[in-house]
């Protein structure tokens, strides 16, 4: 504070050097009123709490407490900034895991929003989706009918060449190379045709499944909150992560996790087959919960992460006993039987 006051006074040094006897009374008045305007305090005041819960206040933080979380206070004692405590090695590793999950969520959300936008621009109603799908199915059915007709002819050609070969064998003669080549060619054409029919059948199954999925998504979009979904970078993450693994069918477990966060009071604003987002926390006691389904190397895992507002109490919410209990309960979930 003394240093600040001195700097205020030095700013008048040039005035003294150019002063004359005629204006020295004026200069003294300027200095007098300027000194009155000097702040009563200057510099930052910090608050931190030691391992015993004792709070300390000072404009300088001792080296032994430099790694602790500390608050910067205003002249009125209001917290204006919070510096997080230095992280341990394990905390740094967990924080990187949280950040990687954030990036995955952003990518999933971006892809889903692009798909949703295209879906809503293309179709106005469920009937539109059905009409589009049926036109595609009719086209595939016509191709299947043609392929089946070709299959009958190819089968007859193959059987004819096989009968010719059988006649040579019954007479004890070797099958001519030309006949063998024709049999091979007929067999190849027949197999390719059957594969084509099977492929067209798979296309039909895919279109039917996609139609059902699009209609379900179409209805979901009309029931979701009008709030724009986002990945909350403006909030602070909890280092407590939930993680469940499943190898085969994860849908029952996925539904179980969604119901779980609902029972914990989560207000869902966005849902898809791989991502669930809840309302962004607005109060220090609030928790923003996300569910993410990640497919990797033939396996699937479901992640739960929590974010809180960037305040002292908000950070405490993200690591308190209730949050720890929530994550532990999540990690014990199993699919409904």
Q: What is the pTM of this model?
A: 0.69
CB 299 within 8 Å of CB 245: yes
CB 165 within 8 Å of CB 175: yes
Q: What is the DSSP letter of 34?
A: H
Distance CA 14, CA 17 (A): 5
Residue 328: both structure tokens together:
């532990």
Tell me the pLDDT band of 37, cut-offs 50, 70 and 90: very low
Distance CA 157, CA 151 (A): 10
% of the chain beyond a pLDDT of 90? 59
Pairing type for strands 288-296 and 268-271 reads unpaired
Q: Where are the alpha helices (DSSP H) in 171-279?
A: 177-223, 251-263
Distance CA 49, CA 68 (A): 8
% of the chain beyond a pLDDT of 70? 84
CB 313 within 8 Å of CB 332: no
Among 263, 261, 262, 253, smallest CA distance to 335 is for 253
Predicted local distance difference test score (pLDDT) of residue 71: 76
Side-chain-side CA neighbours of 82 within 13 Å: the count stands at: 15
Q: What is the tens place of the pLDDT at every residue in 60-113?
A: 888 777 777 777 888 777 776 777 766 788 888 999 999 999 999 999 999 999
CB 219 within 8 Å of CB 129: no
Q: Where are the domains of the chain?
A: 2-83, 91-115+227-331, 124-223
Distance CA 259, CA 251 (A): 12
Q: Does domain 91-115+227-331 have CATH number 1.10.3430?
A: no
| SS3 state of residue 27 | helix
Question: Does residue 5 have a pLDDT over 70?
Answer: no
Q: What is the tens place of the pLDDT at every residue in 116-175?
A: 999 999 999 999 999 999 999 999 999 999 999 999 999 999 999 999 999 999 999 999
As beta bridge partners, residue 271 has 276
Q: What is the tens place of the pLDDT at every residue in 239-291?
A: 999 999 987 788 999 999 999 999 999 999 999 999 999 999 999 999 999 99
Backbone angles phi, psi at 241, to 5 degrees: -115, 140
Predicted local distance difference test score (pLDDT) of residue 22: 44
Lowest-confidence region among 36-40, 44-48, 110-114: 36-40
């Amino acid at each position: 504070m003394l240093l600040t006051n001195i700097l205020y006074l030095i700013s008048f040094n040039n005035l003294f050097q150019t002063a004359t006897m005629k204006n020295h009374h004026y200069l003294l008045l300027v200095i007098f009123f300027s000194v009155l305007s000097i702040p009563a305090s200057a510099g930052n005041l910090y608050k931190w709490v030691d391992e015993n819960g004792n709070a300390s206040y000072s404009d300088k933080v001792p080296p032994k407490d430099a790694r602790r979380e500390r608050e910067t206070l205003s002249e009125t004692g209001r917290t204006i900034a919070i510096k997080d405590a230095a992280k341990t090695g394990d905390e740094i590793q967990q924080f990187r895991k949280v950040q990687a999950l954030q990036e995955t969520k952003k990518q999933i959300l971006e892809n889903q929003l692009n798909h949703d936008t295209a879906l809503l621009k293309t179709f106005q109603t469920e009937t539109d989706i059905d009409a589009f799908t049926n036109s595609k199915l009719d086209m595939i059915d016509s191709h299947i009918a043609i392929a089946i007709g070709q299959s009958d002819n190819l089968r007859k050609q193959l059987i004819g060449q096989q009968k010719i070969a059988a006649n040579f064998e019954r007479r004890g003669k070797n099958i001519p190379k030309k006949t063998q080549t024709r049999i091979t060619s007929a067999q190849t054409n027949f197999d390719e045709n059957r594969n084509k029919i099977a492929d067209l059948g798979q296309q039909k199954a895919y279109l039917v499944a996609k139609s059902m999925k699009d209609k379900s998504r179409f209805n979901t979009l009309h029931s979701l909150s009008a709030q724009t979904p986002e990945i909350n970078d403006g909030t602070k993450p909890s280092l407590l992560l939930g993680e469940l693994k499943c190898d085969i069918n994860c849908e029952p477990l996925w539904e179980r996790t969604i119901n779980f966060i609902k029972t914990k009071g989560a207000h869902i604003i966005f849902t898809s087959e791989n991502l669930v987002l809840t309302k962004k926390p607005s109060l220090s006691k609030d928790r923003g919960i996300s569910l993410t389904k990640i497919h990797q190397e033939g396996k699937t895992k479901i992640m739960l992460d929590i974010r809180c507002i960037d305040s002292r109490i908000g950070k405490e919410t993200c690591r308190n006993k209730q949050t720890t209990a929530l994550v532990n309960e999540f990690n014990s979930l199993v699919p409904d039987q």
